[in-house]
Amino acid sequence: MPIHNEDIAQVFDQIADLLEIQGENAFRVRAYRNGARELRGLGQEAAQLLAAGADLTDLPGIGTALAAKIAEVVHTGTCQALKKLERELPADLPELLRLPGLGPKRVHALHYDLDIHTPEQLYRAAKDGRLRDLPGFGPKTEAALRTALETHFTSEPRFKLASAARYAEPLVAWLRQTPGVDRVVVAGSYRRGRETVGDLDILVTARQPAAAIARLRDYEEVVQVLEAGDTRATVILRAGLQVDLRAVAVECFGAALHYFTGSKAHNIALRTLARAQGLKVNEYGVFRGRQRLAGETEASVYAALGLPYIPPELRENRGEIEAARRGLLPELVTLDDLRGDLHCHTNATDGHASLAEMVAAARQRGRDYLAITDHSKRLTMAHGLDSRRLLEQMAAIDRLNERLASEGVAFRVLKGIEVDILPDGGLDLPDPVLGQLDLVVAGVHSQFHLSRADQTRRVLKAMDHPYFTILSHPTGRLIAEREPYDIDMTRVIRQARDRGCYLELNAHPERLDLSDVHCQMAREEGVLISIASDAHGIQDLDDLCYGIAQARRGWLTKGDVLNSRPLKDLLPLLRRTFHA
DNA sequence: GCCGTTTTCGGCCCGACTGTTTTCAGTCG
């Protein structure tokens, strides 16, 4: 089995958890967590870097010790340091750290004093009243843990961005109705546009913070109030989503918004930068000694540190602070930059709306073009198109375009297909038919479990095809449901560059495929990205907003996006310059 | 364990809330 960065990151996280429970130096613990984060955001496999002879200590946060452990895991699949810790402590103990109210000190006590190391054991102890006499615990902690465990056993951990939005928007509207409340903004990973969010961080400015907090407690979806102070409250919604509300003064709004937007790693990096300038940054502002220099807006916070404004989607400590210092921040693509959509389905296959309905909906949304890309015959369960049915659809599109033109409508329906990439790398329709299309979107819909070598070879071969235009959902992952298939994305991105074809950022909220990191890699290689809805119905056409969030997280500018081009510039790009 | 525009040693982000406390540790974001 090849070792992936995620595998190594998990080893480091486990080491960090166990060291923390043992009471090890907090900065040593943090070093492992930083190492895990660096690996997850790396974009290319550490195993490959090692194979190419790279020095991993060149990576930020990776020194000789961590580099040696990475090599050890890559070469042996295990890590002796972790094994040693697991001999000293139960390996499942860190799971307790995920419970609200439990940190390393209390987990340490649970293990050493009561021999508790699973949530189930903890729940029994809480019910039996055995926790309250433990040092650092009491009756309230015991009761809170009991409730937290009951939630833990039933709720889902993270919410997809689109799903979180369904809870966030009505709650924001509710809070806006509080008398005296001025601004209500969702910060946190939601504002950074992460593909999943763990909780909602909501910031309000209010003359009377207590009114906003009371209003939150009254919200009908609130099933539990975890804490409620003068300026902060934490509640749980019926769906299991945690909401943290903070009320701040108007003059601190920017500093607070910045602080609660995070990411944690970005904030730490920024504070470190501030310290070097003799400044202090907290949620109230930027300070030199007791003098407050900034804080009303986020831009003022950055300006006080000598930086331009950094958009929330970039705040992951993946080079954005250095780019800001050097004036090299990208001007990120926006939803308004998109001129059309290059991937959707109709009821000819597994879509819910007709060709005419999809086109009308796209026009209504102000788009200039829409590519119809139904499935090909291999996907029988989606009633995929064979050559005859595809040719019929193409004729229907021609007629529709003629009618639009005769009505003086500046809109173009593009003839396309989402053709299956067969296990051998061939495409699921004959060349004479594919050659008549405006574009060929091609994707993997079967045989997800090929080896990395075979899967990579399969896709690279498909991209060699003269009519191949765009690789749809390049890694096949479904967020929190299906892992990406094992494929060498570095080679796929380089192949796209060499062959003059494109990669899709599938905007469906369950896919968001490419990932942010792969978008950034594609950008660095000069490969254009199609941000596409993959709509199977009219409403799905609005999912482009999630694709935009992901694209921004991947540092993409308007120029990096294929479908930001007006039609006249797009059409030549769809004609392949390369021929196999 | 990592790192260097005061440093190769001595630092490493910062404040609110809670509960268990007789003045503060632990947790959280």
Nucleotide nearest to A97 (CA to C1'): B27
The reply to whether CATH 3.30.210.10 applies to domain A252-325 is yes
d(CA A241, CA A237): 5
Question: Do residues A203 and A246 touch, judged by C-beta distance below 8 A?
Answer: yes
DSSP per residue, A250-305: GGGHHHHHHHHH--HHHHHHHHHHHHHTT-EEETTEEEETTEEEE-SSHHHHHHHT
Residue A393: phi and psi, rounded to 5, are -65, -40
Nucleotide nearest to A69 (CA to C1'): B1
Rounded, the Å distance between the CA of A178 and C1' of B29 is 25
Rounded, the Å distance between the CA of A249 and C1' of B18 is 23
Nucleotide nearest to A28 (CA to C1'): B1
Q: Using the structure block, give the residue that is written with the tokens 């958890």.
A: A17
CB burial of A403-440 (b: ≥16 within 10 Å; e: otherwise) equals ebeeeeeebbbbbbbbbbbbeebebbbeeebbeebbbb
User: Within 7 A of a protein CB, which nucleotides of strand B?
Assistant: 1-3, 5-6, 11-21, 25-29
Q: What homologous superfamily does CATH list for A5-154?
A: DNA polymerase beta, N-terminal domain-like (1.10.150.110)
**What is the pLDDT tens value at each position of chain A, 580 positions in all?**
678 888 899 899 999 999 999 888 888 998 999 899 888 878 788 998 999 889 999 988 899 999 999 999 999 999 999 999 999 988 888 888 888 788 899 999 999 888 998 899 999 998 888 888 888 888 888 888 888 888 777 766 688 898 899 899 999 999 999 888 889 999 999 999 999 998 999 999 988 888 899 999 999 889 888 888 888 999 988 888 899 999 998 889 999 999 999 998 899 889 988 988 889 999 999 998 888 999 999 999 999 999 999 999 999 988 899 999 989 999 999 999 999 999 999 999 989 899 999 999 999 999 999 999 999 998 887 788 999 999 999 999 999 999 999 999 999 999 999 999 999 999 999 999 999 999 999 999 988 888 889 999 999 999 999 999 999 999 998 887 777 888 999 999 999 999 999 999 999 998 999 999 999 999 999 999 999 999 999 989 999 999 999 999 999 999 999 999 999 999 999 986 544 4
Rounded, the Å distance between the CA of A518 and C1' of B11 is 35
Q: How many CB atoms lie within 10 A of CB A496?
A: 24
Reduced to 3 DSSP states, what percent helix, strand and coil does chain A have, rounded to the nearest 5?
Answer: 50, 15, 35
Which tokens hold the place of A449? Answer: 């479990």
Rounded, the Å distance between the CA of A134 and C1' of B19 is 13
Which tokens hold the place of A53? Answer: 């002879």
CA distances from A523 to A19, A264, A320, A332, A459 (A): 38, 25, 15, 12, 20
Where would I find the H helices in A115-138?
119-127
Instruction: Judge whether A252-325 and A338-510+527-539+557-574 match in fold.
Output: no
Locate the domains of chain A by residue range: 5-154, 159-248, 252-325, 338-510+527-539+557-574
If you measure CA to C1', which residue is closest to nucleotide B18? A227
d(CA A394, CA A434): 11
Which tokens hold the place of A248? Answer: 């701040």
Nucleotide nearest to A259 (CA to C1'): B29
Dihedral sign computed on CA atoms, order A529, A394, A467, A579: negative
Which tokens hold the place of A233? Answer: 């409250």
Pairing of strands A242-248, A470-471: unpaired
Architecture of domain A159-248: 2-Layer Sandwich (3.30)
d(CA A496, CA A194): 26
The reply to whether CATH 1.10.260.40 applies to domain A338-510+527-539+557-574 is no
Rounded, the Å distance between the CA of A110 and C1' of B18 is 19
If you measure CA to C1', which residue is closest to nucleotide B11? A27
Consecutive H or E run containing A160: strand A159-160
Question: Do residues A344 and A541 touch, judged by C-beta distance below 8 A?
Answer: yes
Rounded, the Å distance between the CA of A228 and C1' of B19 is 14
